[in-house]
Amino acid sequence: MPRPARLNLPDIPQHVTQRGNNRQACFFSDDDYRLYLDLLAASCHKHRCELHAYVLMTNHVHLLLTPRIPEGVSLAVRDLGRDYVRTINKTYSRSGTMWEGRFKSSLVDKEQYCLACYRYIELNPVRADMVRHPGDYPWSSFQHNTLGEPNSIITPHESWLGLGKNNEDRKRAYLSLFDDALDQHKINDIRYGIGKGLPTGNETFKSKIELTLAVKLGNGKPGRPRIIRD
């Protein structure tokens, strides 16, 4: 069965996740996390992607990116994964793959789901019971997006910029969003979108994607194709 076509559009955020093969670890030391972030910065710059939020877990990663060219995300994640595995294999005298097949991605409705996706990503260590507060986890964008900790690889999305008139107001407003639990319906929608490779958003957003790409989007359930091209 052919792999379903990946949905790629410029200027629309994409939620990306990639897991270690068989859910095994893909980071073994602090230097590995730093290497991944350096390579992420380089691949985003090369392929014109803006990174808004991220978390590096021990055996998987979540990224929120906006490409400025149609294939930007695919190219950036391809180069990142390849270069990271090459260096890790050499460092630890290992061989073979590290990632579990293709990375997963979902186009994100910036009006309704972008900031929810920010929070979903940065709350990942809390949901995994690794820390009690997202600020306690060192390998995410939380400290930058809420406290302004220097992080040159982050470009704020317009949704974040819309939270206030200046960065201090925006950081306070964004931090206040964490006072309440992330809506479970939005969590379910985000998980479903990334799991099925479908857009994360309302029906209007999905219809816009269908029209722009000239595709029909199924619901990802067995017995129905995920994407049927006209």
For residue 101, the model assigns a pLDDT of 84
Give the tens place of pLDDT for each residue, 178-189: 999 999 999 999
The CA dihedral of 176, 135, 201, 46, to the nearest 10 degrees, is 130
Q: How far is CA 222 from CA 102, 107, 226, in A?
A: 20, 21, 9
For residue 228, the model assigns a pLDDT of 32
Tell the residue number behind the tokens 């994360």, with chain if given.
200
For residue 226, the model assigns a pLDDT of 43
108, 14 in Cβ contact below 8 A? yes
For residue 215, the model assigns a pLDDT of 86
Q: Largest alpha-carbon pair distance within the chain?
A: 51
For residue 218, the model assigns a pLDDT of 74
For residue 116, the model assigns a pLDDT of 97
For residue 225, the model assigns a pLDDT of 38
In the chain, the domains with their CATH numbers are: 14-229 (3.30.70.1290)
Q: Which residues of the chain have pLDDT under 70?
A: 1-4, 220-230
Residue 19 pairs in a beta bridge with: 60
d(Cα 102, Cα 69) in Å, to the nearest integer?
A: 20
pTM of the model: 0.92
**Token pair in block for residue 111:** 């009006």
